[in-house]
């Protein structure tokens, strides 16, 4: 689903999936190819990510040779190898490394640590601390002055790698690198090793040449067929052309079904590609849908686009929401009580950075997971609500499931705690629960519920606003402890500046 979402957002991009080298990675890679990935990267245990714990650097994953050989063999045996490019990385240093991994099935190669060393990296393992002593990985001006790297050094390094590869290919007797991809029969195990442990290593399975290799392709031949030519977004883009080109407001109406996935992703990609940083004003493109939306409805929806869904939606609604507005209401003819029924699926607003969501009904599990900036009002959520949330605002006008606010490190949630059990249902490892006392919080909550009423005509929202003095006592504010400290420091700084300005005036 994620591959499809990303391909819809940018049809011209190649979608790459990175897998760690481990036993069974071939089976996973086969599934990734069937999911239409354009590239697969197999990463070995020797990776040098400077911000990683030493335990991960030393002990996570298996040697890249095992992973790339298993992946290549599995894809060849299932006639999938021609549909994807195999990449690899992890402490590649010489042309011999490149050729050996090519013989095992790799076509493209990633260099990180070696290239950084040519720029002066001394491998202090402090990339994430802003204290790099040679100025490679830091924003500190005094440390950046120590950077002596030159682009020519990197260019020369890769030229030497290429020359080394070319020389080895000449020794083998082949014209191009494509001719050696997957040709494991060209690898001969060494027999002159006398080490008591190494001499018993059996690499026969690693250099196995499957019978299917005689009839199936051994490298990339044909691009994936993503089947995005006839998706709904093509009609939306055509109907929105005036809005994109001139800024004129447009209104669109569509019937939607659950096989319509990632609706809005391609439209948003088109808008961003055409306008760049010049975003559309709010509500420039207004689209109303009737029916049951498929997965990732409104994914990556950008500013200026408003989606109103009269029906229900599957999982991942509003994934990566980027400034757009989504409103979900039950069908007009429905007779069920919205605040007692689920009308959107799981993992809503996953990774959202901006925008608004108003839902007249209950959401599934993991609502607003990893939300970092979107505003949402919903009438109930399942388990794990606001999990790993780092920003934004969430208003829950109903019950929550278990493990609410687990790993929440930013943003604020306002929950209507009618039963008084939110304290029991919340994961209070990083957050605290408190009543609404600050008038700023009260005004913010009232305004958000008012917008919810405006867009959804929610009976529950109307009841709360009419009986505001009664309901405000039942709302609980959920706020991360560290986030609260930051907000308090900001308030103190604002007050301090006002005092200084007042003193200067006198």
pLDDT digits (tens, 9 = 90+) for 143-176: 999 999 999 999 999 999 999 999 999 999 999 9
User: Per-residue confidence at 17, pLDDT binned at 50, 70, 90?
Assistant: very high
With a threshold of 0.85, does the pTM exceed it?
A: yes
Long-range contact set of residues 403-411: C-beta below 8 Å, sequence gap at least 24: 403/427, 404/478, 405/430, 405/431, 405/478, 408/478, 408/480, 409/480, 409/482, 409/483, 410/372, 410/480, 410/483, 411/371, 411/372, 411/386, 411/480, 411/483
DSSP sequence for 94-147? SHHHHHHHHHTT--EEE-SHHHHHHTT----S-TTTT--TTSSS---HHHHTT-
Provide the token pair at 323: 């400034």
Relative to beta strand 475-480, strand 431-435 is: antiparallel
For 350, the 3-state DSSP assignment is: coil
CATH 2.160.20.60 at 233-501, yes or no: yes
Residue 29 sits at φ, ψ, to 5 deg, of -60, -40
Q: What is the CA radius of gyration of the chain?
A: 28
Please state, in angstroms and as integers, the Cα–Cα distance from residue 188 to each residue in 177, 183, 184, 185, 202, following that order: 19, 11, 9, 7, 12
Provide the token pair at 44: 């070995």
User: How far from the centroid of its chain's Cα atoms is residue 435's Cα?
Assistant: 34
pLDDT tens digit sequence for 341-375: 999 999 999 999 999 999 999 999 999 999 999 99
Q: Which residue has the higher pLDDT, 463 or 499?
A: 463
Across the beta sheet with 85-89, the strand order is 16-20, 39-43, 85-89, 108-110
pLDDT tens digit sequence for 412-439: 999 999 999 999 999 988 899 999 988 9
- CATH 2.160.20.60 domain extents, the chain: 233-501
Q: How far apart are CA 376 and CA 145, in angstroms?
A: 45
Count CB atoms within 10 A of the CB of residue 300: 29
Relative to beta strand 475-480, strand 410-416 is: antiparallel
Provide the token pair at 319: 């994934």
Q: How far apart are CA 81 and CA 218, in angstroms?
A: 6
Residue 125 is predicted with a pLDDT of 82
Residue 190 is predicted with a pLDDT of 84
Residue 408 is predicted with a pLDDT of 94
User: Per-residue confidence at 62, pLDDT binned at 50, 70, 90?
Assistant: confident
Relative to beta strand 362-363, strand 342-344 is: parallel
Q: How far apart are CA 366 and CA 385, in angstroms?
A: 5
User: Per-residue confidence at 503, pLDDT binned at 50, 70, 90?
Assistant: confident
- CATH 3.20.20.70 domain extents, the chain: 2-214
16, pLDDT greater than 90: yes
User: Per-residue confidence at 314, pLDDT binned at 50, 70, 90?
Assistant: very high
Architecture of domain 2-214: Alpha-Beta Barrel (3.20)
User: Per-residue confidence at 279, pLDDT binned at 50, 70, 90?
Assistant: confident
Please work out, in degrees rounded to the nearest 5, the angle formed at the alpha carbon of residue 288 by the alpha carbons of 398 and 367. 30
Residue 80 is predicted with a pLDDT of 94
43, pLDDT greater than 70: yes
**Whether the Cβ atoms of residue 386 and residue 368 lie closer than 8 Å to each other:** yes
454: Cβ–Cβ under 8 A, 6 or more apart, which residues? none
Residue 75 is predicted with a pLDDT of 95
pLDDT mean over 85-100: 92
Across the chain, mean pLDDT equals: 92
């Amino acid at each position: 689903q994620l591959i499809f979402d990303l391909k819809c957002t940018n049809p011209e991009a190649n979608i790459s999936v990175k897998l760690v080298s481990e036993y069974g990675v071939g089976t996973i890679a086969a599934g990734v190819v069937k999911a239409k990935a354009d590239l697969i990267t197999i990463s070995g245990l020797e990776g040098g990510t400077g911000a990683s714990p030493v335990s991960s650097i030393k002990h996570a994953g298996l040697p890249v040779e095992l992973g790339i050989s298993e992946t290549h063999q599995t894809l060849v045996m299932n006639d999938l190898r021609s549909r994807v490019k195999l990449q690899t990385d992890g402490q590649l240093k010489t042309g011999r490394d490149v050729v050996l991994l090519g013989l095992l099935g790799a076509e493209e190669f990633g260099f990180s640590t070696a290239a950084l060393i040519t720029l002066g990296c001394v491998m202090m393992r402090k990339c994430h601390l802003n204290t790099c002593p040679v100025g490679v990985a830091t924003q500190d001006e005094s440390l950046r002055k120590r950077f002596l790297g030159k682009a020519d050094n990197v260019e020369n390094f890769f030229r030497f790698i290429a020359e080394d590869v070319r020389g080895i290919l000449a020794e083998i007797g082949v014209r191009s690198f494509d001719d050696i991809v997957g040709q494991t029969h060209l690898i001969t195990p060494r027999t002159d090793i006398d080490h008591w442990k190494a001499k018993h290593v059996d690499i026969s399975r690693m250099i196995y040449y499957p019978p299917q290799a005689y009839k199936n392709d051994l490298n990339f031949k044909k691009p994936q067929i993503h089947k995005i030519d006839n998706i709904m977004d093509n009609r939306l883009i055509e109907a929105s052309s005036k809005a994109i080109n001139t800024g004129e407001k447009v209104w669109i109406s569509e019937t939607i079904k659950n096989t319509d996935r990632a609706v809005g992703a391609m439209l948003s990609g088109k808008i961003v590609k055409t306008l760049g940083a010049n975003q559309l004003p709010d509500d420039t493109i207004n689209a109303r849908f009737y029916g049951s939306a498929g997965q990732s409805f409104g994914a990556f929806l950008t500013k200026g686009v408003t989606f109103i869904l009269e029906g229900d939606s599957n999982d991942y609604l509003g994934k990566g929401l980027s400034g757009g507005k989504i409103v979900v209401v039950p069908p007009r003819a429905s007779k069920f009580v919205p605040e007692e029924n689920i009308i959107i699926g799981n993992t809503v607003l996953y990774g959202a950075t901006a925008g608004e969501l108003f839902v007249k009904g209950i959401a599934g599990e993991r609502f607003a997971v990893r939300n970092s900036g979107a505003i949402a009002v919903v009438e109930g959520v399942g388990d794990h609500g606001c999990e790993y949330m780092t920003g934004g605002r969430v208003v829950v006008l109903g019950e929550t499931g278990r493990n609410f606010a687990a790993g929440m490190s930013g943003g604020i949630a306002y929950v209507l705690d009618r039963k008084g059990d939110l304290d029991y249902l919340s994961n209070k490892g990083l957050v605290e629960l408190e009543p609404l006392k600050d008038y700023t919080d009260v005004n913010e909550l009232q305004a958000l519920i008012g917008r919810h009423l405006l867009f959804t005509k929610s009976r529950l929202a109307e009841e709360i606003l009419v009986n505001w003095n009664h309901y405000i006592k039942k709302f609980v504010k959920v706020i991360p402890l560290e986030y609260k400290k930051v907000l308090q420091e900001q308030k103190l700084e604002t007050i301090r500046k006002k005092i200084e300005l007042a003193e200067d005036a006198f």
